A and B are shown apart, each in its own frame.
Chain A
Amino acid sequence: MTELQAGEGAQAVGIARPRARPRRNRDVLIALIAFIVLAALPMIFSSKLLLDFVIRCAAYGLFATSLNLLVGYTGLISFGHGMFFGLGAYGFGLMMQKTGVPVPVAFVATLAITFVVAAVIGAICVRLKEIYFAFVTLAFQMLIHSTILSWVSLTGGDQGLRGGIPRPPFLGIDLSNHHHLYIAACALLVLGLLLMRQIAQSPFGYTLRMIRDNATRASFVGIDVWRAKLTIFVLAALFASTGGIIMALFVSGAYPEFAYWTISGEGIFINMLGGVTTFLGPMVGTVLLLILNDTVTRLTEYHGIVLGIVILFFAIGLRKGLMDFVVEWAAQRRGKAEERAP
């Protein structure tokens, strides 16, 4: 069990930390452009499918990228990250159904609940190392899933939150309008990615990489490893929860499947597909998986076989995620070009 860290992360560590400010400005600029492009999409294509697709990408993308903060950046392989996805969906849905508070209040309150739950669970989990961390997070996930199933009076048990999630308009935004929901999901996605990017590039982000590469060394340097791990665990949970909220808005409900371990498994799968060494790898993985899922289930009911073969191609053929492959390939090319240069 020595090779437990996700990806070697050679690139990320190898590059010396550049001047932070221009980089941040560049990130903000890219985020702005991305948002404008996404927001303009519905004007060019009138397809509702496209909007649905992007909303789902936002939900899964935030979830998967936040998981990568744990897996790729900190070396914490969580098999239970999906519990926060479910928690977000249920927290938000219940808040809207039972209390009727405005959407932003419910949003913030859901994040606050996630914060508390993640802090408690994280405090217990991050003490454990490697595969045991994976198992204990999985166990917590299943515990939460069982609780959702058993606590019928609150959660509706296996039938989930029924009757739709009410969403009164606020500040001129009406989330029951498909277009408004789309814009909101895009905004959350871009903002979430931007924030996570800042976390990853911050000194704290480099502390995490150090912990991943050698926790003992990190603690010698005076880093409180437990606290750093807990912090990123909670932060990642908040973004996963946001993904869950978007999903709850999309399906207008919350279902126990959202808190099942398969969601965590899908998150890991997305990360592997896209690659864990680049920041946008999980996002690429999300788009890939969703396209794959949507097209394959259309074509055959034996989608398991098709999906399985695609996975094998990545795992045995490429042996790495798509973005990892691309980055390595580009680096190799650059290397060769430099060699050839006189």
Chain B
Amino acid sequence: MKRTRTTGVSRRSTLALMGAGAATIAMPWVARAQAKTIKIGMPTILSGRVAQLGTSSRNAVMLEVEKVNAAGGLAGRQIEMVIRDSKGQPQEAARISRELVNTDGCELLIDAEASSGAFAVHEVARDLGVFCIHTNSETSSLTADPKQHIPNAFRTARQGVHDSIVGGSYAAGIAKAKGLKKWATCSPDYAYGRDTTGEFTLYLKRFAPDVEIISDSWPKLFQPDYTEVVTKILQAKPQALYSCLWGGDLTSYIDQANIYALFTQMEVFAVNMADYTALTVVKNLPKGIHSGNRYIKTYPGTPENAAWGDAYKAKYNEYPTNWSWENATAIMLIAEASKKANSADGKKIAEVLRGLTIKCPFGADGTVTMRGEDQTLIGYAIGWGTTIPQEPYVPEVKAGDWKTILELEAEWKKSKGYT
């Protein structure tokens, strides 16, 4: 008797387990049912060391989606965001993207992955032909390399080469004025760090030909300790230091370099300093670090930008990040393109999006443009300034000149064999 009962229970629970499994697999038809809402899938990183990338991207997206939905949605269809965590693993990013499209019925993708994850999602977009905007990968080759090009993928993230051109010319100006000839670099050892540093020194030397790089350091991404790197730079005794460390790595580096009094011995150019994530976290921020703007609400110094930053702060009780504006811009562009096309269809949106210019709080002149030829964002606010340890953190930003940027970018593309 007893025996039979245990078997029964066990069999039933096994069946239940199988049923649960089948249900997860069988869900597609439920989701496929033609709904009035339009689903936008968003693979991003919500756990691990760069979880902030995902959370601040998501916050910005939700902020904008609410506005779009309040104004009637995309061609009359309300947006529903489906946001999933890839844990920063490319194979998970690829799987999730496929699942979002194939199973959850997402018609558009916002790829808020970093680094290799973005390339993995790019391959999914190539395979499935789904409309996709890369919002966080700044690696230039993602859109600059014609081999990567697909008609359905766009990018609203800033591009490494743009930063380097502006940074190089800004740094060259200071180098000439202050006679900084001996430079050192210290950047994270991965594609973004290497490419951006290489391009920065390229343009620095171009604008200030007598500059010499006397030392380079390549700490690993997420390395906890930079002591050996700091002392190596101190040994080399450069007059100026360039770094594209970011986030927690940058703050660790500053804290550790600070106690060696590194900042009193050289001019420091840290492109990723002027982002609230780093500015508000470092307790003893040294004065006068040169930095490119990431996101600050005082640059561009327009009421629209300040209002956007404040709205974000009011809603989430923290300041937006560089990733925030990049993701918000993606939603703004989709909304505008959909309005113009009078459709929420990915193909039609893509057609309108190529070459589209919209009003945007993050634009250098109040507008940003999705360049048609390589489907990447241009015209966004980009500039350099020096930091102070309290608000507004970067009081004066010297704007980069987009005409020069575009000329030099075209030249760079040619040198890379991209055009």
Residues of A participating in the B interface, judged by any CB pair closer than 8 Å: 45, 47-50, 52-53, 56, 149-150, 152, 156-160, 162-164, 247, 250-253, 255-258, 291, 294-295, 297-298, 301-304, 333, 336
Minimum CB–CB distance for A220 against chain B, Å: 44
Contact: A52 with B95, CB < 8 Å?
Answer: yes
For this complex, 15 residue pairs linking A to B, each with C-beta atoms less than 8 Å apart, are A47-B103, A49-B102, A152-B194, A156-B191, A158-B115, A158-B116, A158-B191, A160-B90, A162-B148, A163-B145, A252-B127, A253-B90, A291-B21, A297-B92, A301-B85
Main secondary structure of the interface of A (DSSP, over half): helix
CB pair A297 B123 closer than 8 Å? no
Assess whether B116 is in contact with A257, with CB atoms less than 8 Å apart. Answer: yes
Range, interface on chain B: 35 or more
Interface of B is mostly: helix
Residues of B68-103 contacting chain A, CB below 8 A: 84-85, 87, 89-92, 94-96, 98-99, 102-103
Residue of B nearest to A257 (CB): B89
Which residues of B are found within 8 Å of A156, using beta-carbon distances?
191
Which of A50, A247, A256, A258 is in CB contact (< 8 Å) with B25? A50
Contact partner of A47 (CB less than 8 A), chosen from B28, B91, B92, B190, is B28
Contact A159 to B46, CB < 8 A, known contacts A52-B102, A255-B120, A301-B85: no
* CA–CA, A303 and B96, complex, Å: 15
Partner of B26, one of A45, A163, A304: A45
The one of A48, A159, A250, A291 that contacts B115, using a Cβ cutoff of 8 Å: A159
Rank and list the top 4 A-B pairs by shortest CB-CB distance, nearest first. A48-B102, A158-B190, A255-B90, A251-B94
Please state if A295 and B24 are interface contacts (CB–CB under 8 Å).
yes
Contact of A49 among B21, B90, B103, B127 (CB under 8 A): B103
Contacts of A164 in B (CB 8 A): 123, 126
State how many angstroms separate the Cβ of A21 from the closest Cβ of chain B. 33
The verdict on A53 contacting B102 (CB below 8 Å), with A255-B116, A258-B91 known, is no
Residues of B within 8 A of A291 (CB): 21, 24
Contact assessment for A251 and B123 in the assembled complex, using a CB-CB cutoff below 8 Å: yes
From B46, B47, B91, B148, A257 is in contact (CB under 8 Å) with B91
> Is the pair B123, A53 in contact by a Cβ cutoff of 8 Å?
no
Taking CB atoms, residues of chain A closer than 8 Å to B116 are 158-160, 255-257
Whether, in the assembled complex, B315 has its beta carbon less than 8 Å from a beta carbon of chain A, the answer is: no
Residue of A nearest to B88 (CB): A257
Binary A-proximity of B345-383 (CB < 8 A = 1, otherwise 0): 000000000000000000000000000000000000000
Q: Is the CB of A301 within 8 A of B47?
A: yes
Known: A49-B27, A49-B102, A302-B47. 11 other contacts (CB 8 A): A48-B103, A152-B194, A159-B190, A163-B148, A164-B123, A250-B91, A251-B90, A251-B95, A257-B89, A297-B87, A303-B85
Contact with A along B38-56 (1 / 0, CB 8 A): 0000000011000000000
Residues of B with C-beta under 8 A to A251 = 90-91, 94-95, 120, 123
With contacts A52-B99, A252-B127 taken as known, whether A160 is within 8 angstroms of B47 at the C-beta atoms is: no
**Contact residues, B185-207 vs A (CB, 8 A):** 189-191, 194
B36 at the binding interface (Cβ < 8 Å): no
Q: Are B90 and A53 in contact (CB under 8 A)?
A: no
- Bound complex: CA of A156 vs CA of B115, how far in Å? 12
B47, A304: Cβ atoms closer than 8 Å:
yes
A336 to B2 CA separation, bound complex (whole angstroms): 12
Q: Which of B163-219 contact A (CB under 8 A)?
A: 189-191, 194
**Complex Cα gap A292–B95 (Å):** 14
